[in-house]
Structure 1
Amino acid sequence: MTPDWSPLDQEMARWQDLGLTLPLWWRDDDAIAPTRHLERLIALSERLCLPVHLAVIPSMASQALAHRIAQTHLRPVVHGWTHTSHAPLTEKKAEFGAHRPAQDMLDDALRGLATLQQLFAGALVPMFVPPWNRIAPEIVAGLPDLGYAALSTYTPRTSRLAAPGLVQINTHLDPIHWKASRSLVPAQQLVDQIARDMAHRRAGHTDNAEPYGILTHHLIHDDAIWAFTDALITRLLAGPATTWIYQSRTTT
């Protein structure tokens, strides 16, 4: 069913009346190799002129992926180490939660960075994306010493820096209905959410200097998710949104 876009259109009009802009970025998780799904992601990203920050699982990343990404404007970032949960079955999944020794997790984070630096060379963005967007505070504090400059999880950040020397750049809208169909969250719910998120930013309740992040997982998208992602980003970029891409000395 086609959603009613008017709540978002009305909020975007308020932004434009006030001369506000929405920095917009795109993160896609779980890449390991070239696939037809990745090709669809690349094509959509290029058509929308919005580069994707591609969260790559280091332990499984292939040379073929590095070769393909080198031909695009996608930006690889570090997605944990093996994307394996160490949490008990009674808790939410986490690879870097408080379920094993901190030094083991820091070693894995360093191994992930080193592996992808070798694979992608200068193209790698020094951003850490913990699988399932969960990470223990002591690991956050240790990331800058490993060479990371940014951390990305989910929901609006509460401060610009997650730790000294580590900027927080989160994602905010995930179109996948993980707990039910694993297809698209009801489209109207997503439209209403982003309109509400933008209203909170306009009112100063959340930080509009933080790029607004669209979070996708190309490997499991169906046509409904692809179509909504396309329509949403197209609409935002036709309004107050501006393309944001990580720069090595970002101060966002």
Structure 2
Amino acid sequence: MADWSALQDELRIWRSEGLTLPLWWRDDDAVSHTPALDQMLARARHLNMPVHIAVIPKHADQSLVDLVLNEPKLVPLVHGWAHENHATQGRKKAEFGEQRASLLGDASAAIEQMKALFGTAFAEVFVPPWNRIDPDLIPHLPALGYHALSTFTPRTTRLPVAGLAQINTHVDPINWRGGAGLLAPDTLVFRLIQHLQDRRQGRADAAEPLGMLTHHLVQDAETWAFTQDCLSCLLDAGAVPLNLYGAKDALP
């Protein structure tokens, strides 16, 4: 498995410089209460940190609702509408990645369905499937009721538009191009250290919560072991776990 010593060294520098590392966890594609979701929930309890589950509104069922309403460690987010690929031929998969007639309507239907399912027990964070979104849609999100947008890679600005915070994810342990499974642990750790150095040295936004991205339905034992060990390493070094629920007026 991974050698965490170099990451621990970097985190010691953070502490010596009095820097704070906010940390959050996002997991995509929740629809039902499944054994895979229970496995992830057990890890969240062990780590004592919330996991923000990006729920597919069109397909979410009552079993997921019942679990969420009785489990404070699970914080629902809005994962597109139906998680369907609408990309034109030759372009990367995306549901909200380019203009189409129902783009705005689907984004509106998604948050309204989340209200119908969860009432107020979800965070108004839009997570576009495949982490791709048409820039022209972003200015409309606050009027629909969204308070934040989450994709992947470091944000370039905290507020892409007034009333909408950008809070991305940065670590994805899955080797998607290699058919799933765990990406090389040394590569993951190296990239994470580089990102932390970029933050510390002013090349990236140090105030953005560092985001771990998981996919409970496809992660294997090795990938889960890395995820838990990585989060544990960060938490043990003083990273501050965040819960985005109810934080709309104070999103970092």
TM-score by length of 1: 0.96
In structure 1, distance between residues paired with 2:142 and 2:106: 14
The aligned counterpart of 1:105 is 103
Instruction: Give distance in 2, aligned partners of 1:248 and 1:118.
Output: 20
Quote the residue 2:192 is aligned against.
194
- Deviation per CA, 1:181-202: give whole Å up to 9, x if none: 3000100111111111111111
Partner residue of 2:36?
37
Shift of 1:64: 1.2
- Alignment partner, residue 139 of structure 1: 137
Which residue does 2:51 correspond to in 1?
52
- Paired letter, 2:14: W
Measure, in 2, the Cα distance between the counterparts of 1:251 and 1:53: 14
Q: CA deviation at 1:240?
A: 3.0
What's 1:17 paired with? 16
**2:88 equivalent to 1:85:** no
Flag the structure with higher helix content: 1
Aligned letter for 2:205? D
Q: Which amino acid aligns with 1:87?
A: A
| In structure 2, C-alpha distance between the alignment counterparts of 1:20 and 1:95, rounded to whole Å | 37
Contact 1:42-1:72 at 8 Å conserved across structures? no
Give the distance between the partners of 1:250 and 1:126, measured in 2 at CA.
13
- Once residues 218 and 163 of structure 1 are traced to their aligned partners in structure 2, the CA distance between those partners, rounded to angstroms, is 31
Q: Distance in 2 between matches of 1:99 and 1:106?
A: 9
- The answer as to 2:63 corresponding to 1:64 is yes
Encode CA deviations 1:20-49: one digit per residue, 9 max, x unaligned. Answer: 111000000000001000001111111101
The separation in 2 between residues aligned to 1:235 and 1:145, in whole angstroms, is 39
Partner in structure 1 of residue 25 of structure 2: 26
Percent of paired sites with the same residue: 46
2:2 and 2:226 in contact (8 A); partners too:
no
Query: Which whole-Å CA distance do the structure 2 matches of 1:78 and 1:220 have between them?
Result: 20
Q: Deviations over 1:71-108 (max 9, x none)?
A: 2121001000010011124110010011423xx11110
1:130 corresponds to which of 114, 128, 145: 128
Provide the rounded CA distance (Å) in 2 between the counterparts of 1:172 and 1:3: 18
Name the SS for the 2:94 alignment partner.
coil
Offset of residue 8 of structure 1? 0.5
Note if contact 1:96-1:135 (Cα within 8 Å) is conserved in structure 2: yes
For 1:105 and 1:58, how far apart are their aligned partners in 2?
Answer: 15
Q: Secondary structure at the match of 1:123?
A: coil
Number of residues of Structure 1 aligned to a counterpart in Structure 2: 249
Matched position secondary structure for 2:19: coil
Query: What residue identity is the alignment partner of 2:249?
Result: R
**Contact map agreement 1:78 1:128 (CA 8 A) in 2:** yes
1:95-152 CA-to-partner distances (Å, cap 9, x unmatched) read 0011423xx1111011010001111111111100000000001111110111111000
1:245 counterpart residue number: 243
Q: Which runs of 5+ in 2 are unaligned?
A: none
Cα contact 1:87–1:93 (8 A) shared by 2: yes
* Long gaps (5+) in structure 1: none
Structure 1: distance between partners of 2:25 and 2:67: 19
Q: Is the 8 A contact 1:86 1:99 kept in 2?
A: no
Q: Is the 8 A contact 1:8 1:195 kept in 2?
A: yes
* Alignment correspondent of 2:215: 217
For residues 15 and 160 of structure 2, the distance between their equivalents in structure 1, rounded to whole angstroms, comes to 31
